[in-house]
């Protein structure tokens, strides 16, 4: 291979490799302009983008010594070499521009640059032309050739790739910012709604509880329905607040030495009536002579166990079984709630701890719920530096397991600061 071709290929390879190393688009495209002028023996080069609104080209990138002169200049679609290349989507060589009406000489007048010859190729992005890449004035005294066209098309392809990458990065950044803003608005709405609902809901519960003592028996059922549903609303609000406080930094742990075995037994006792109504058997499997003592916030871990048990009962059919297991080793305490219920589809398992996530619409309609209990459980466990996960097989059952570290410092979100009682 001739030495000149070897040098040319080496230069093209260098520009190609730089595609992944340059931090910004402008720097990389300027390097492409330099390579184009060097490899085609041209005095100058430019890259123009097409503006669909004005039907004109503007100079996106030019050598620094032309930048100030033509930064605001425009090239029309009709009556220009750039327009011909753009409309025909083909390369074009003009080795003598003086007598060719396609040459738009006004740019020469503005910049003080005299164009004698030029060559251009279209910039293609997503299969359509978006601009034109040109070089000017062959310095060796010979004409532009088909070999020069191949060089320019290779460089134009790299330029288009760089522009596409830049566009994708901007779209990703915009999407991420949009998601963050939506998340902020969602959290703000939840916080405000929870706060505003507390007072009227407290009044409803207070007055309805008072009325239950006064009304005659014929209205007892209606008042009980009010209390029952108001209590459900209160539970939902508390769940929303628990997650919001953790995410916004308002969460705190009130730790003490707690028996996890006692928390499990109390939860089983609390839900025994509900389990009996559904014909479900509750079992515990706890180590003998070990209370599973650990420093935790008892109220929060009670919520974890209760939510997992409530979830298991909701998705276990009549005649089913639920077992709560607890065990301890030198570094952690592990609690598992195992059921032989309907199970969770494989595609849903990774999402069950997301706030408001609902598993299969037909299950939601049958069993109810807003998708908050498991997300609250996750928050409470992670506040203690623990972790929680789910294992499930549809039609076979599910096991929800969490681990609490023994003697480890709790892990709070970066914004969270414990507050005093």
CA distance 397 to 374: 16
Compute the average pLDDT of residues 81-99: 92
pLDDT bracket for residue 418 (50, 70, 90): very low
7 pLDDT higher than 80: no
pLDDT at 222 over 50: yes
In the prediction, which pLDDT does 6 show? 64
In this prediction, residue 371 carries a pLDDT of 61
Same fold, 3-173 and 179-248: no
pLDDT, one tens digit per residue, over 127-182 is 889 999 999 998 887 899 888 898 888 888 888 888 777 777 777 877 888 877 87
Residues in the chain: 421
Pairing mode, strands 281-285 and 321-328: parallel
Residue 32: half-sphere exposure toward Cβ, Cα within 13 Å: 32
Coil/strand/helix, residue 416: coil
pLDDT of residue 34: 85
Architecture of domain 3-173 in this structure: 2-Layer Sandwich (3.30)
In this model, does residue 421 exceed pLDDT 50? no
Question: Is a pLDDT exceeding 90 seen at residue 197?
Answer: no
| Per-residue confidence (pLDDT) for residue 419, from 0 to 100 | 33
pLDDT of 417 strictly over 80: no
pLDDT at 264: 94
Q: What is the mean pLDDT of residues 399-413?
A: 74
Class of the 179-248 domain?
mainly alpha
For residues 205 and 50, which has the higher predicted lDDT (pLDDT)? 50
Cβ distance 287 to 328 under 8 Å? yes
pLDDT tops 60 at residue 414:
no
The whole-number pLDDT of residue 320 equals 94
Q: How far apart are CA 218 and CA 203, in angstroms?
A: 23
Determine how β-strand 128-138 pairs with β-strand 256-259. Answer: unpaired
Question: pTM for the whole thing?
Answer: 0.49
Mean pLDDT, the chain, rounded, equals 81
User: What is the arithmetic mean of pLDDT over 47-75?
Assistant: 83
**Model pLDDT for residues 309-366, shown as the tens digit of each residue:** 999 999 999 999 999 999 998 889 999 999 999 998 888 898 888 876 766 554 544 5
Q: Which residue has the higher pLDDT, 373 or 132?
A: 132
**Annotation: CATH topology of 256-405:** Heat Shock Protein 90 (3.30.565)
Q: What is the pLDDT of residue 87?
A: 93
Q: What is the pLDDT of residue 415?
A: 40
Boundaries of every domain in the chain: 3-173, 179-248, 256-405
Specify the pLDDT at position 35: 87
| Tokens 């088909």 -> residue | 146
* Sign of the CA dihedral running 334, 369, 223, 206: positive
Looking at the chain, the whole-number percentage of residues with pLDDT higher than 70 is 79
- What's the pLDDT at 214? 77
Strand, helix or coil at 97? coil
pLDDT one-digit tens code per residue, 249-278: 455 678 889 999 999 999 999 899 999 999
pLDDT at 5: 61
Most confident of 84-93, 356-365, 404-413: 84-93
Residue 19 pLDDT grade (very low, low, confident, very high; cuts 50, 70, 90): low
pLDDT for residue 180: 79
Element (H, E) at 18: helix 3-18
**Pairing outcome for strands 281-285 and 74-76:** unpaired
Q: Is the pLDDT of residue 420 over 50?
A: no
| Structure confidence by residue, pLDDT tens digits, 229-257 | 777 677 667 766 666 555 554 556 788 89
């Amino acid at each position: 291979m001739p030495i000149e071709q070897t040098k040319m290929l080496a230069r093209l390879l260098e520009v190609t490799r730089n595609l992944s190393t340059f931090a910004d688009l402008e720097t990389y495209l300027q390097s492409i302009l330099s390579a184009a002028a060097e490899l085609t023996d041209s005095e100058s080069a430019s890259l123009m983008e097409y503006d669909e609104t004005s039907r004109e080209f503007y100079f996106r990138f030019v050598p620094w010594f032309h930048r100030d002169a033509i930064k605001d200049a425009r090239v029309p679609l009709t009556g220009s070499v750039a327009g011909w290349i753009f409309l025909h989507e083909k390369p074009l060589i003009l080795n003598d521009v003086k007598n060719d009406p396609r040459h738009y000489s006004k740019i020469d007048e503005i910049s003080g640059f005299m164009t004698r010859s030029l060559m251009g190729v279209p910039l293609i992005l997503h299969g359509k032309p978006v601009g034109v890449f040109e070089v000017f004035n062959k310095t060796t005294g010979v004409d532009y050739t088909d070999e020069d066209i191949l060089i320019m098309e290779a460089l134009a392809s790299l330029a288009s790739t760089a522009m596409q990458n830049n566009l994708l990065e901007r779209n990703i950044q915009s999407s991420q910012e949009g998601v963050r803003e939506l998340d902020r608005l969602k959290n703000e709405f939840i916080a405000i709604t929870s706060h505003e609902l507390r007072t009227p809901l407290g009044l409803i519960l207070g007055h309805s509880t008072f009325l239950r003592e006064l009304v005659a028996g014929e209205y007892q059922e209606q008042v009980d329905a009010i209390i029952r549903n108001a209590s459900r609303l209160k539970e939902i609000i508390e769940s929303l607040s628990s997650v919001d406080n953790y995410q916004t930094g308002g969460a705190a742990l009130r730790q003490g030495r707690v028996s996890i075995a006692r928390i499990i037994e109390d939860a089983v006792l609390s839900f025994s009536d509900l389990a009996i109504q559904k014909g479900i058997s509750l079992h515990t499997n706890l180590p003998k002579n070990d209370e599973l003592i650990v420093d935790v916030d008892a109220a929060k871990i009670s919520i974890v166990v209760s939510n997992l048990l409530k979830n298991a009962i909701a998705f276990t059919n009549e005649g089913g079984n639920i077992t709560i297991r607890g065990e301890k080793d030198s570094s952690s305490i592990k609690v598992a709630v195992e059921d032989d219920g309907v199970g969770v589809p494989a595609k849903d398992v990774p999402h069950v701890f997301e706030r408001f996530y609902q598993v299969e619409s037909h299950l939601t309609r049958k069993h109810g719920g807003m998708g908050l209990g498991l997300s609250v459980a996750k928050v409470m466990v992670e506040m203690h530096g623990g972790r929680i996960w789910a294992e499930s097989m549809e039609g076979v059952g599910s096991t929800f397991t969490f681990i609490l570290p023994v003697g480890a410092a709790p892990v709070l979100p970066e914004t969270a600061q414990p507050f005093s009682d």
